[in-house]
Chains A and B, each alone.
Chain A
Amino acid sequence: MAGGKKMSLQSLTLTEARSAVVEGRVSAAALAEQHFERIAEVDGEIHSFLTLTRERALAQAERVDAAARAGEALGPLAGVPVGIKDVLTTRGVETTAGSRILSGYHPPYDATTVARLEAAGAVVLGKLNCDEFAMGSSNENSAYGPVKNPRAMDRVPGGSSGGSAAAVAAGLCVASLGTDTGGSIRQPAAFCGVVGVLPTYGRVSRYGLIAFASSLDRVGPFARSVEDAATVLEVMAGPDELDATASSHPVANYVAETRKGVEGLRIGVPEEYFGEGLHGEIREAIERVLDGLKGAGCSLHKVSLPHTRYAVPTYYVLATAEASSNLSRYDGVRYGLRSKDAATLAAMFRNTRDEGFGAEVKRRILLGTYVLSAGYYDAYYKKAQQVRSLLARDFVRAFAGVDAIVAPVTPTPAFKLGEKTSDPLQMYLEDIYTVSASLAGICGLSVPCGETSDGLPIGVQVLGKYFDEETMLRVGAGVERNQEG
C-alpha cells in the first residue's frame, strides 16, 4: 500500500490516526515515516527527541499493517506514533533519564507502560528529552541540552516532561508518555498547549520508571485531546505483577466517560489558587472556563484548601529526601558512566557521581541528604510528612462536597529560556499549583483553554478524587467542548 495522502500531523488526533490505519487509508509504516520526516525537518531546533527508534518503529508498523491486511482485530492504539519520556526504560534502546550518568545505558527490559502501549499497537518513534532525572520545571536541566517550546521558540516547554509535551504540540508524535512527580506532566502540557493527564497514585504501573521520588512518581499520557489521552490511559492503567504499588482498583471505560457530558456535576473552585501572583490573563481564561461549565449545567462551589501555601516547601523536603536515597544507586558499578582512572573504589564512586550528575541533581541530593541527616530528620522530614497529611486532608474535605476541582496549572505562561536558571527557589515556585495534588495522590489533568495576547498557551487544571479519573476526564472534555464552541 502506498503512503496515502499526507495528513496534517500537528492536528491529527489519535482517533483519526488509528481509523486511517484500520480502514487502510494509510499504512502504519507510512504514518511513521511521515512523522520521522517531520522530526528531521523541525526537531533539530526543538530538540524534543534524544533517540529515534526507527527500526523498532518500522518493525512494529509492519506487524500492525500485516494484521490490518489479514483483517485481524487491531488494538486501540494500532499504528499510532508515540514518543516515550527518556525516564522510562526501553529494551535495547538507550535510556538516559536526561543524565550523563546513564549515557550509553541500554536497559534489558521494557517499562510496563511501554510494553502495554506496544501491545495495543502503538508505534514507538523514540525517546523524549526531559530534565535530568525529571528534576526541573523548564527542561533546562537536561544534560543533552534544553527543549524549545514549539509555540514560542524563545520560551521553555516546561518540565520535566518538556520533550513529551513539545513533541505532541509540534506534530512529531500523536501522543506521548511523561511522568509527573510535582507537576511534570501538567505544567509542560499547559505551556505547550496540549492535554496532559496525571493519573491517581497507583493507577498506572511504574515498573521500568527510573525512580526520582517513589511516593510521588507517576506515569501519564500527553495527547491533543482529552479523549485521546483517555484512550492511552485506558491501555496503561491497572495492576501489574511487576509493581506492587499498581492498584487493582477496577479500570473504567475512560473513553466512554469523556463523552458523557457534565450536566449536574458539582465543581469546586479553590480560593487559594486565585491569589496574588496569578497572571491576569490566566485568571480570566479560568474564569471563562468556569462560566462555560456553568453554562453546560455544572454548579460552582467555593472550596478551601487552606494548606496550599505549604505545599511547595513540603514537596521540596520529601521529594529531595527520596531522591537522595533513590539516586544513591548511581555509582559506576552496574550500568552507565564510570569515571576512568580512579585508584580506589571510594574515589570511583565520587568521581563518577561528580562527572555524571548535573548541578540541579547535586543540589537536590545535597538538600535531601541534609534533611535526612542526623539531628534534622524530625525538624524537616517528619515535619513535611505531617504537613503532607494536612494537604491530603484538605482535598478529602473539599471533595466531600464537589465532584471535581478546577484551578490554574501555572502562575504564568511559558517563561523565556534562561529566565529562571540562576535562582532555584524561583524555579521551584513554578510548581505552586501542581504539587498539592502530587503530594495528596489524587488525579489531575491539564487541558488547553485559550492563549495570552502574546499567543502563549494557557492550561486549566481539573483535579479529581482518588481513582475517579472518570469524572476528571468528563470535566476535561467538557472544558474542551466549550473551547470549540
Chain B
Amino acid sequence: MSVSVEDVRHVADLANLELTAEELPRMAKDLNAVLGYIAQLNELDTSAVEPMAQVGAVLGVKPVQDGETLRRDVLKESIEREAVMAEAPESDGRFFKVPRVIER
C-alpha cells in the first residue's frame, strides 16, 4: 500500500497542519519510505500477543497501585491564574481570546 499526495493532504487535514505545494510530495515520499520499512513488522505473527501500552504491563503493576502513586485528594494551591494568562498570545486577563468562531 502506498501513500498518495491526496492521502497526505487528508492526514494533514486531520492533524490541523497546513502543507505547501512543495511539502506535500516530499512528505508523501518520506512517509512511503518509513511505512515501507515499518511493513517488516508483518513478518511476525502476533495474533496471540497482548498489546503493550505501558511499561507497567510487563511489571505486573496494576493501573492504580492501590493508590500509592496517587497523591492524596486534598485541596492545595495551584499555579496562579495571572501567571498562566500572562503567557497567552491574546487574553483579557481572565479568558483566552481567539478569532471569531460564529458569524452573525
Contact = CB atoms under 8 A, between A and B. Distances in A.
Interface of A: 105-109, 201-202, 215, 239, 241-242, 244-248, 307, 309-310, 312-314, 316-317, 324, 328, 331-338, 342-351, 353-354, 357, 359, 362-363, 365-367, 369-370, 373, 380, 382-390, 392-393, 396, 424-425, 428, 440-441, 466
Nearest to A370: B11
Interface string B47-75: 00111111111110000010011111000
Nearest to B90: A338
B73 to A, nearest CB: 11
A350 B80 contact: no
Interface residues of B, number: 57
Contact of A354 (B18, B90, B98, B100): B18
B44 interface: yes
A289 B15 CA distance: 47
Interface in B6-59: 7-8, 11-12, 14-19, 23, 27, 30-31, 33-35, 37-42, 44, 46, 49-59
B30 A328 contact: no
B44 A310 contact: yes
B31 A366 contact: yes
A368 to B, nearest CB: 8
Nearest to B26: A359
A390 B34 contact: no
B87 interface: yes
B68 A314 contact: no
Given A215-B53, A333-B96, A386-B50, A108 B79 contact: yes
A346 B13 CA distance: 11
A337 B80 CA distance: 22
A248 B65 contact: yes
Nearest to A310: B41
Given A248-B65, A440-B55, 10 more contacts: A246-B69, A313-B37, A324-B15, A348-B98, A357-B17, A363-B31, A369-B14, A370-B11, A383-B46, A389-B58
> Chain A CB within 10 Å — which of B69, B87, B90, B100 has the most?
B69
B51 A389 contact: yes
A393 B52 CA distance: 11
Nearest to A109: B79
Contacts of B52: 385-386, 388-389, 392
Contact of B19 (A246, A343, A362): A362
Contacts of A248: 65, 68-69
Given A108-B84, A362-B23, A424-B33, A350 B18 contact: yes
Contacts of B71: 241-242, 244
A310 B96 contact: no
Contact of A366 (B27, B42, B90): B27
Classify the secondary structure of B's interface with A. loop
Contacts of B15: 324, 328, 365-366, 369
A475 to B, nearest CB: 22
Interface in B86-100: 86-90, 96, 98-100
A313 B3 contact: no
Interface of B: 3, 7-8, 11-12, 14-19, 23, 27, 30-31, 33-35, 37-42, 44, 46, 49-59, 65, 68-72, 79-80, 83-84, 86-90, 96, 98-101
Nearest to A106: B87
> Chain B CB within 10 Å — which of A337, A363, A370, A425 has the most?
A370
A398 to B, nearest CB: 13
A390 B27 CA distance: 31
A390 B11 contact: no
> Chain A CB within 10 Å — which of B7, B18, B34 has the most?
B34
A383 B41 contact: yes
A332 B101 CA distance: 15
User: 10 closest pairs, A vs B, by CB?
Assistant: A441-B55, A385-B51, A241-B71, A338-B89, A108-B83, A386-B46, A354-B18, A389-B52, A201-B55, A386-B49
20 contacts: A105-B87, A108-B87, A109-B79, A246-B69, A343-B99, A347-B99, A350-B16, A357-B17, A362-B17, A363-B30, A367-B31, A373-B14, A385-B51, A386-B52, A389-B49, A389-B58, A425-B30, A440-B55, A441-B58, A466-B59
A386 B90 CA distance: 44
B17 A367 contact: no
B80 A396 contact: no
Contacts of A441: 55, 58-59
B17 A353 contact: yes
A476 B15 CA distance: 43
Contacts of A363: 27, 30-31
A464 to B, nearest CB: 14
Contacts of B41: 310, 313-314, 317, 383-384, 387
Contact of B99 (A245, A336, A345): A345
A246 B55 CA distance: 12
Contacts of A383: 41-42, 46
B99 A390 contact: no
Contact of B38 (A202, A239, A365, A380): A380
Nearest to B68: A248
A334 B39 CA distance: 38
A314 B39 CA distance: 10
